Structure 1
C-alpha cells in the first residue's frame, strides 16, 4: 500500500514540476506581458490613457536668444559677436482632443499646446527684455525674392522699408515677448505697389509665423504664437491593442500618410511617436527611437547609447547623433532633404548638421542643433565669439523605462537660423559678410513627477515579487519531485530487482546445493 501511495505521490509531483516549468518559462511572462499591455494601450480603461491624453506635468519650454553685441560693425563687414541670453522659461501644457478611432487600431486626435511664462524659473530675465537679433522675416523676404526674381530685389527692398519700421540694417531691436509670442507689427499701409505685392503674397500663403492684425492693416510676426492655444493635427496614432510594439506610432498627420514636401518616399516617411509615448522595450531595446516633428516636416531619431539608472529606475539612454542631420556624403539617405539652395555656395545637405526648412515651411530657414553642435566647423568660423558647441548643454536625449517604455526624462533641442547674405544692390546688406546666422534655440523637455516615480517603483516592485514567485514555485516543485522520488525509492518502487535477488541469496537459494568438497 505504501509503495502504491509513493508512486502516486511521485506521479503527481512530476505533473506539478511540468506545470511549474511551463508557468515559469511561459505562463508568468505571458501574464505579466498581458498586464503591461493592458495598462499601456490607448483605451479608456488603461492606466496610461488619461496620462497620455493630458500630460500630468507641464513640459519645460526654454528659449535662448542670440543677442548681437556688435550690430553696427557687422553691417560694416565685421564678424558677428553674439551673447546668448536665456533661458526664458515657459510652462508648456499639452492636451489631446480625441476625435475618434480608426479600423486599423488607431486613435485620431488634435493636440493643443498652451504656454505660460515662468518668471521664477527665468530668474532675472523678463519678457520685456530688450534684445538685438537678426531680422528673421526681413532676411526671409529678401532671400525669397533673390530665389524667385533677383532683378526685383531692389524694388522689394524699397517696399520693405515701409513694411518694417526703422529698417537701417539687417537687425531687429525688439522685446523678447514680441519676438516669441506677442508679435512684431509689420505695416501694409502705403502707396508702394511692391508693398501691396509683398502683403498680398503673405495673405495668400499664410505663413504660420505671420498673423493678420485686428484692422487688417498689416501682420504680426512671432516665432511661436501659432503654437500657443492652437490645435495641430489631426494625428492618427497606433493604440497598441492589436500589437503592443506599434504603440504610439504616428501613421498619418493632417490626413497625410507621407510628407510630400520632400518629394521622396524615404524622407517623407512618418516614423515614430509624438514623443509622449513609446512601446514597452521588454529587455530588447531598439537601436533607434523616432519622433515625428510637424514643425520641420520630418522624423528625427535618437540612438541607443547604454543602460543607466535614473530616479533609481533602470532605463535605456538614447541620444541624438551626428547622422541625423549629416551631410549627404556622410549619410546618403539624407540626400532627399536637399531641395533648395539655402546659400549661394551650399545646398541644404552639403554641410554637416543643418536642415533646409524651405520645402517644409516655404521660408528659407535653416534648422540645426544649438550652437551648431555636431555641425561642420565651417559654420563656427563665421563668428568672432558667442558660439560654443557643448555636448552636455546642446544634445537631445531620452531615458526610457526598461520595462514599460515610459519616458522618464527627455529633452529635445533645436536652433533656428537664417542666412545673412551680402547683396550689393541693397544698402542694408551691401557690406555684410555672408554666413549662416542663428536667431534662437529652444529646449523642450520634461521628467516624470515624484508621484509618477513612486508609482513606477511600486509597479517594478510588484513585478519583482512576481518574478520571485515564479522561481519559488519552480523551486518548490523541484524539491517536491525529489522528495517523492526518495519516498518511492525507500518503498522499493524504484528498485529494478527484488531485494532477495542478490548474488548471495541466489547461491544459497534452496535447490541450488553444491558440494564444495567435491573434487573436480
Structure 2
C-alpha cells in the first residue's frame, strides 16, 4: 500500500516539474532562440547553400512594367497652360538578373559580383507593341538647353539649328525608342564639339544585357546582419554626387534579399543605383503570400521629404541649397547633367502642388507605393513592387524660343513597376521551414499540455485510492449489552 501511494505521488511530482520546466522554457524563449541561431548559420552566401543559389540566380519571375504619360495638349503647354497627360501602359518585360563574375574574398567573408540584367518584351502582358508612339518632352533637347542657357552665343547657334531641323520642346517616339535608345540629331551635332555627350538617347539606353558595375557584398559569415550587404560599388565605399557624407553613404543590400531574423522594429536599408542613393524602409503591416507569413516594409515619406521636414536630406539638394520639395529627387548629378527628377508614380507622397501642376495625376497608395514583403525568419523576399517615376524639369529659357511661354513644371515622362513573387518551389521550402519552426517553438507548450494531462492523471489516481477494509475484531462494538 505504501509503495502504491509513492507511485501516485511521484506522478504528481513529475507533473509539477514538467509544468515548471515548460513555463521556464516559454519565459526564456529557449527554443525560438535555438531556431533563430540555426537559421543565422544557414543563411550565408556560400557555395551549395539555398541562400547562395537564390542570390546567384533568383528563381522568382521578375517583371518590369513601364507606363508612359502621353501629352495631349503640346501647343497649350507652350502657351503657358497646364500639361494634360494620359497614362498608357503597361509595356511589360521579363527581367533576368543573375549574379555573374562571382569571386569569394577574405576567407569567404566577402564576395564580388556584377548583376547583369536582361529584359525580354512580353507582348501578351502589354497594352500594345513596342512600336506604339508616345508624345512627351524632348529630353535630349531639354538637356542641351539647360546646359547652354547661360552661354548666349552657343545657345543662339543651337536654337537656330533646332529651328532648321524642326526640333522643339516635345517629340513623338516609339516605346522601344524611348526605352532602349534612338539616334538624336541634336546630340549627334553637339558630339563633335562636346565629346562627353552620346548621340544616342534612351531612358534605359545601355541597360539591357548589361550591369551597373562591380559590387562587393558581405556574405554574412562573420555577422548574420551583414548578409548580402553592399561593401563597395565600382570600387568605392561611398558616393560622391551629394553634398553631405551621410547622403553619400552606401547602405544596405540591393533589395533582392535581407538578413535573417527580422523584427518589426528593424529599419532595412537598400542601395539603388537607379536612384543614385541609399534609402530605408520600415515595417508597415503583416501580410501572407502563398500561405507564408511576412512583414511588409515600405519607404516612409521621410525618405524623400524636404529638408524642412527631414534635415538629414539636406545633402540631396543639388546644387547645395537647391531643394525642389518633398517627394522629389534631382538625379541630374548622376545622369550626365540631364534634368531628370525621380519620384514615386503620380507624385505619390510628394507635395500636392506637383500632382496639381499636371492634369491626369491620380496618386494612390495601392498602385504607386513601393513595398517589399519579407519572411521575417529567413529574410527571403516573398513579394516586391519597386515603383519609380522619371520626370523632367521643364522651364522657360529666354535664349531658346523653343520653350515658348511654358510654365516651370516637373513633367512626368514614365514610371516603372519592377515586381516579383516567390515561385512555388521556393514557397514550398519556406512553408516546410515554417512548419519546423512552429513545431520546435511549441515544444514548451506541448510540455505544459503534457504536464496538465499528467496532473489530471495524478488527481484521478488520488481520488481512486480507497480506505482499507476493517477487520472483524475492529467491527465489534466497544461495549456489550
Q: TM-score normalised to the size of structure 2?
A: 0.85
SS in structure 2 at match of 1:323? helix
- Which residue number corresponds to residue 423 of structure 2? 449
- Which residue number corresponds to residue 112 of structure 1? 116
Contact preservation (8 Å) 1:340, 1:358:
no
- Which residue number corresponds to residue 196 of structure 2? 201
- Which residue number corresponds to residue 259 of structure 1? 239
How far apart are 1:221 and its partner, in Å? 1.0
After superposing the two structures, state which structure 1 stretch, 472-481 or 173-182, moved more: 472-481
How far apart are 1:114 and its partner, in Å? 0.5
Kindly report the root-mean-square deviation, in angstroms, between the aligned alpha carbons of the 2 structures. 3.3
Q: Determine which of 335, 341, 351 is the counterpart of 1:366.
A: 341
Question: Measured at CA, do residues 188 and 153 of structure 1 come closer, stay the same or move farther in structure 2, by a change above 3 Å?
Answer: closer
SS in structure 2 at match of 1:316? strand
In structure 2, what is the Cα distance between the partners aligned to 1:413 and 1:2? 75
Question: Measured at CA, do residues 475 and 393 of structure 1 come closer, stay the same or move farther in structure 2, by a change above 3 Å?
Answer: closer
SS in structure 2 at match of 1:231? coil
| 1:420-443 per-position Cα deviation (integer Å, ceiling 9, x unaligned) | 211222221132222211111111
Q: Determine which of 78, 89, 92 is the counterpart of 2:92.
A: 89
In structure 1, what is the Cα distance between the partners aligned to 2:191 and 2:181? 23
Contact preservation (8 Å) 2:97, 2:118:
yes
In structure 2, what is the Cα distance between the partners aligned to 1:135 and 1:407? 38
Which has the bigger relative contact order, CA under 8 A and spacing at least 6?
A: 2
SS in structure 2 at match of 1:226? coil
Q: Determine which of 108, 125, 131 is the counterpart of 1:121.
A: 125
The answer as to 2:313 corresponding to 1:313 is no
Question: Measured at CA, do residues 103 and 389 of structure 1 come closer, stay the same or move farther in structure 2, by a change above 3 Å?
Answer: same
Contact preservation (8 Å) 2:384, 2:419:
yes
The answer as to 2:82 corresponding to 1:79 is yes
The answer as to 2:57 corresponding to 1:54 is yes
- Which residue number corresponds to residue 216 of structure 1? none
The answer as to 2:175 corresponding to 1:166 is no
- Which residue number corresponds to residue 280 of structure 1? 260
How far apart are 1:79 and its partner, in Å? 2.1
In structure 1, what is the Cα distance between the partners aligned to 2:322 and 2:424? 43
How far apart are 1:248 and its partner, in Å? 2.5
After superposing the two structures, state which structure 1 stretch, 108-117 or 357-366, moved more: 357-366
Q: TM-score normalised to the size of structure 1?
A: 0.79
The answer as to 2:145 corresponding to 1:142 is yes
- Which residue number corresponds to residue 158 of structure 2? 156
SS in structure 2 at match of 1:201? coil
How far apart are 1:309 and its partner, in Å? 3.0
After superposing the two structures, state which structure 1 stretch, 27-36 or 85-94, moved more: 27-36
Question: Measured at CA, do residues 238 and 481 of structure 1 come closer, stay the same or move farther in structure 2, by a change above 3 Å?
Answer: farther
In structure 1, what is the Cα distance between the partners aligned to 2:200 and 2:227? 39
How far apart are 1:182 and its partner, in Å? 4.2
In structure 2, what is the Cα distance between the partners aligned to 1:354 and 1:245? 30
How far apart are 1:189 and its partner, in Å? 6.5
- Equivalent residues in 2 for 1:18-417, closer than 5 Å: 25=28, 28-97=31-100, 98-102=102-106, 105-123=109-127, 125-146=128-149, 149=151, 152-159=154-161, 166-167=166-167, 169-186=168-185, 196-198=192-194, 200-202=195-197, 210=198, 219-282=199-262, 284-340=263-319, 348-363=322-337, 364-383=339-358, 385-417=359-391
| 1:211-254 per-position Cα deviation (integer Å, ceiling 9, x unaligned) | xxxxxxxx221111322111222112221222212222212111
- Which residue number corresponds to residue 206 of structure 1? none
How far apart are 1:310 and its partner, in Å? 3.3
Contact preservation (8 Å) 2:296, 2:372:
yes
Question: Measured at CA, do residues 57 and 225 of structure 1 come closer, stay the same or move farther in structure 2, by a change above 3 Å?
Answer: farther
Question: Measured at CA, do residues 466 and 61 of structure 1 come closer, stay the same or move farther in structure 2, by a change above 3 Å?
Answer: same
- Which residue number corresponds to residue 470 of structure 2? none
Q: Which has the larger radius of gyration?
A: 1
- Which residue number corresponds to residue 505 of structure 1? none
Question: Measured at CA, do residues 76 and 244 of structure 1 come closer, stay the same or move farther in structure 2, by a change above 3 Å?
Answer: same
Contact preservation (8 Å) 2:63, 2:420:
yes
How far apart are 1:105 and its partner, in Å? 2.2
In structure 1, what is the Cα distance between the partners aligned to 2:221 and 2:21? 29
How many pairs align?
459
Contact preservation (8 Å) 1:348, 1:356:
no
Question: Measured at CA, do residues 287 and 22 of structure 1 come closer, stay the same or move farther in structure 2, by a change above 3 Å?
Answer: closer
- Which residue number corresponds to residue 471 of structure 2? none
Contact preservation (8 Å) 2:159, 2:401:
no
